[in-house]
Amino acid sequence: MRLRFVNPQTGKARWEPVSMSLWLLPLVALLPLLPTHGAYIGPSWWLATLLVVMAFLPIFMFSTNSWKRKTLKVSMNKDTFTSVYREEWGNQVFGSGQRTMPWSNLECVRFQPGEEMSDSVTIIMGRANCLVFEWRPSPTLLSTYLSNTTWVSLDDLSDDQRDALFISLAKYVPQELLAPEVCYLQMKALSGDGDKSLTNFTKIWTDEFNRHFEIANYIPLAPGDKCGNGRFTIALTVAARMNSSTYLASTAAGEKVVIKELVAPIDSDDALQSKLIEQFNREASLLATLDHPKIVAVRDHFIENGRSYIVMDRALGKNMREHVRLQGRLDEKSTIAIARQLVEVLHYLHSHQPVILHRDFTPDNFIYGSDGAVTVVDFGAANVFNSGKTATLIGKQNYMPPEQLRGKPSPASDIYTFGASLAFMLTGKDLPSMGKLPSFEDVSISPELLTLMQNCVAFDDQARPTSFDLIASLQQLAPNLETAAT
């Protein structure tokens, strides 16, 4: 048996499988009509016909109309969660109601893609992308699967309603109760990401969340906490590392900012902590003087309660690694366009007096906007407290040049990570080993671009080109690419 479902976004109809248990309804209704001991026991023929029709009516309704419980709105306070819904049958309103549950009963919040819904839930919700709130059994409710869950259809909510939902989740629900994919969508909604699509909730997004969060050796700030003498209010933890965290926060005026929090390693003595704080202040002050349209601006830096903080502007868009994983690898033309922007940043940094090294010039730190513009974030000051620690290599070991691993980074180190980043954009793969590019067998690129990347990731730092050399090489590549295309 199948159920007719009309997609609320596209208006297209399709047939969905429905559990065969529904067929038991008419069979149960027919039981009184069965003969017993040779005698006919049951109502008259016209009443029997009516019962048969009524028994098959639910199946007829489900198979010819779009039945759905539509989420109208959700509201939350510090004690309870309330969802308001409406039952629809085709274009008709069949009923409405609301459900209120205490937060103390919440077990978890997870995401359920519409394509993976069970038959029993599809009958009630339609095939929609939902947030599922799992509750502990309540003594006042019949303990069933549906009574212990609340399904909120995200497809029914406007962008503003969806953002308000995730803001409330950040405010009232402990982050450990949110599934990774829910935290990821929450992070995107609160950071102002323009991509509202819910079609990419896959293992990719879970992996992306897991890359941002590791076991920390300290307690990060919680949503609602303040820092900077009360000037900034934490909205959400965007990432957590062993000795650092990144937060989305708001100013007293309601403006969104990003705050990087740095904590000295727990095994450091007073002398080391003093040295780290001095180095942090020096580098943070230097970064605050940078003025480039493709570098995220540092607004402020301060030390509070033994922790150091850098306050930065918010860059809208996805980081390049995330973009490639969700949208696919880039072609040569797009890669060169991005490379020219990145080289501008490197040339600006390496020409600065004193010279500034990024030290983590990787796809994770390139924010790619919907207009094709790139913003570079997370400079070396954000890694001061992790210097020499294994944590700095997590997720980045494929981008570490040999001299940086030896603790002697130079401008050539940024060139190395630049070349490795271009290879990732084109292939979707990190370097398999130090100084070795991934395979380009199934990638169409020019020999000139391949040579440029090989030169950038040369094992010997003296053999790598400078940022000035790269500007000239990329300027030559772009016209050649356009000529080849015509």
Q: What pLDDT shows up at residue 273? A: 77
Instruction: State whether 388 and 451 are in the same domain.
Output: yes
**Residue 220, domain member (yes or no):** no
pLDDT at residue 292 greater than cutoff 60: yes
Q: What is the CATH number of the domain that holds 439?
A: 1.10.510.10
Residue 295: the pLDDT is 93
Comparing 423 with 57, the larger pLDDT belongs to 423
Q: Is the pLDDT of residue 132 over 50?
A: yes
Same-domain pairing of 427 and 459: yes
Based on C-alpha coordinates, what's the Rg of the chain?
Answer: 29
In order of 290, 315, 360, 407, the CA distances from 352 in angstroms are 9, 23, 18, 21
In this predicted model, what pLDDT tens digit does every residue of 328-341 receive, in sequence order? Answer: 899 999 999 999 99
3-class DSSP state of 292: coil
Give pLDDT, residue 129. Answer: 81
Considering the domain boundaries, does residue 61 fall inside one?
A: yes
In the predicted model, what is the mean pLDDT of the chain?
75
Q: Is the pLDDT of residue 423 over 90?
A: yes
Q: Which of the listed residues 23, 41, 65 is the one where a domain comes to its end?
A: 65
pLDDT confidence tier of residue 78, bands split at 50, 70 and 90: confident
Which structure tokens are listed for 349? 């940094």
- Quote the number of domains for the chain: 4
243 and 182 in a single domain? The answer is: no
Same-domain status, 39 and 24: yes
> Which of the listed residues 148, 182, 200 is the one where a domain comes to its end?
200
pLDDT at 127 over 50: yes
* Full residue range of the structural domain in which residue 307 is found: 226-312
Whether the bond into 139 is cis, omega within 30 of 0? no
- Please tell me whether residues 167 and 292 are part of one structural domain: no
Q: What confidence score (pLDDT) does residue 103 get?
A: 87
User: Is the pLDDT assigned to residue 178 strictly greater than 50?
Assistant: yes
Residue 24 lies in a domain: yes
What are the pLDDT digits (tens) for 299-309? 999 989 888 89
Same domain for 77 and 134, yes or no, is yes
> 312, 328, 357: which is the final residue of a domain?
312
- Predicted confidence at residue 9, as pLDDT, reads 40
Same domain for 230 and 258, yes or no, is yes
- Element of type H or E holding 152: strand 149-153
- Both 13 and 82 in one domain: the answer is no
pLDDT at 70 over 50: yes
Using the predicted structure, report yes or no on whether residue 102 has a pLDDT greater than 80: yes
pLDDT, mean of residues 34-45:
51
For the stretch 395-415, pLDDT in tens is 367 888 988 888 788 999 999
Contact predicate 82/107, CB 8 Å: no
Identify whether residues 53 and 173 lie together within a single domain. no
Within-domain flag for 211: no
User: In this structure, is residue 39 part of a structural domain?
Assistant: yes
Q: Are residues 41 and 137 in the same domain?
A: no
Q: Which residue has the tokens 């995220």?
A: 296
What is the pLDDT confidence band of residue 238, given thresholds at 50, 70 and 90? confident
Assign 370 a pLDDT band (cuts: 50, 70, 90): confident
pLDDT band per the 50, 70, 90 thresholds, residue 92:
low
Same domain, 268 and 365: no
Amino acid 465: pLDDT? 96
User: Does residue 208 lie within any of the structural domains?
Assistant: no
Looking at residues 458-471, what average pLDDT do you find? 95
Assess if residue 295 is contained within a domain.
yes
* Top-ranked range on mean pLDDT: pick from 6-10, 308-312, 376-380: 308-312
Mean pLDDT (whole number) for 27-49: 54
Q: Is 212 a domain residue?
A: no
Pair 303, 335 in one domain: no
DSSP per position, 177-245: GB-HHHHHHHHHHHTT-S----TT-SHHHHHHHHHHB---SS-PPPTT-EETTTTEEEEEEEEE-SSEE
